[in-house]
Structure 1
Amino acid sequence: MADIPGGESLLFLTDEQLRKGIEAMFFAYRGFTADPDRILETMDFGRAHHRALHFVQRNPGTTVSNLLTVLGVTKQSLNRVLRTLIDEGHVRSEKGRKDGRERHLFLTAGGEALEKQLSEAQRARMRAAYRAAGPQAVQGFRTVLEAMMDPELRDHYNRLKEGP
C-alpha cells in the first residue's frame, strides 16, 4: 500500500509509546513556560497575562471577543487579566469605529517590551531544540501539533500564520 501524504498511512503505536509522547509534551511545556513564569511572578502576573500579551502582539487591534475565543477562557477571567494589563500600562483598549461596543486591544510600548522579554526566552529554547532536532523533525513536530488542534482553533492558528 502506498504511503498517503500527510502521514495518513497506517501507523501502529503502542499505548506505551503514546504515553511517552504525552509525558514528553507535559515536561516540554513545563520547560517552555518556566522562564516566562519566573519573570511574570515578579510582577504578580500569570500565564494568562503572557498569553494575552502574545496574541494581542500577534494581532494588533484584535477584539476582546476574538481573544476570548483564542484563549478559551471565561469572559470574567479575561476581564481580570485585561484590567490588570491595562491598569499597569501594558495594553490599551479602543472603542470600535463601526461598533462602539467592541473593544480593540493594542500593546503599549511597555507591553511590547514585556511581551518581547517573555517570548525571547521561549524563542531561545525553541531555537535550540529545533537546531538539535533538524529541519525534518521541526516540520514533523509542527505537523503533529497542527493535527492535534481542534478545527476552529486551527482556523485561528492559520490566520495568525498568515500575519496581521
Structure 2
Amino acid sequence: MKSPPSGKDTLAEPPTYDLIELFFFAYRDFVSDPDRILDEYGFGRAHHRVLHFVSRNPGLTIAELLDILRITKQSLNRVLKELIEKNFIESRTGTADRRQRLLHATAKGHELALKLATLQTCRITRALSEMEPEAKDMVSRYLLRLIDPSDSAHVKHLVFGSEET
C-alpha cells in the first residue's frame, strides 16, 4: 500500500472532511447499482473490476491485470477462477509466448460488463447533465490529479489511450 504523498503528511488547516465524506457517499452509491446485479451471480466488487478491465482490454495478461488492480496474485486467482468457471472470462494461450495466458471476456462476460458500465454511465450522465458543459473535462482532470503522480501516465494511457488530457 502506498503512503500519502511526501510533504503532505501534516497540514496547517483541518482535514477536508466534507470532500472526504462526499467521496465515501459517492462511491457507495456509484457501486450500489452494480452490486445488486453482481449479487445475483454470487459476484462481488473484485469480480466487477476484473470483468471490467478484461472486457475493455481483450488479450490482457495476468501480469498486466495485477498491475492495474494492485491486488495479490492469490486474490486475483480466486476471482478469475470463478469468472472462468462460470464462462464470463476465458484464458487463451499467447501466440508469441505460449507460457502467457491472455484474458478475454466471453460474450456473456462482455454483456454483463456492459450492463454494469451502463448503470454507472447513467449515474455519471445524470450528475454531469446538471453541470456546465466543460464539467466532464474538469472532473477528469481532478480525478487524474488524485492519482499518484508516479502512476498518472500509465493510467492516462490505459483510460484514454494516450498520454494527453
TM-score normalised according to structure 1 size? 0.85
Q: Which amino acid in 2 is paired with 1:71? A: L
Partner of 1:162: 161
- Kindly tell me: are residues 151 and 103 of structure 1, through their superposed partners in 2, closer, same or farther at Cα, counting changes over 3 Å? farther
Q: Deviations over 1:102-138 (max 9, x none)?
A: 1110011000111111111100000001111222332
* Cα distance in 2 for residues equivalent to 1:97 and 1:140: 41
Which aligned pairs between 1:88-103 and structure 2 lie closer than 5 A? Answer: 88-103=86-101
The CA RMSD measured in Å over matched residues stands at 1.9
Structure 1: gaps of 5 or more residues: 1-12
What is the aligned-residue identity percentage?
Answer: 43
Secondary structure at the aligned position of 1:135 is classed as: coil
Structure 2: gaps of 5 or more residues: 1-11
Q: Which amino acid in 2 is paired with 1:28? A: A
CA drift of 1:149 comes to 0.7
Identify which of 97, 104, 107 aligns with 1:106: 104
Q: How many residues align?
A: 151
Larger relative contact order (Cα-Cα within 8 Å, sequence gap ≥ 6): 1
Structure whose residues are more often helix by fraction: 1
Q: Which deviates more from structure 2 when the two are superposed, residues 35-44 or residues 92-101?
A: 92-101
* Cα distance in 2 for residues equivalent to 1:155 and 1:96: 27
Partner of 1:148: 146
Identify which of 70, 75, 78 aligns with 1:77: 75
* Cα distance in 1 for residues equivalent to 2:40 and 2:151: 31
Partner of 2:14: 15
* Cα distance in 1 for residues equivalent to 2:148 and 2:27: 19
* Cα distance in 2 for residues equivalent to 1:45 and 1:135: 36
TM-score normalised according to structure 2 size? 0.85
Q: Which amino acid in 1 is paired with 2:161? A: E
Q: Which amino acid in 1 is paired with 2:14? A: D
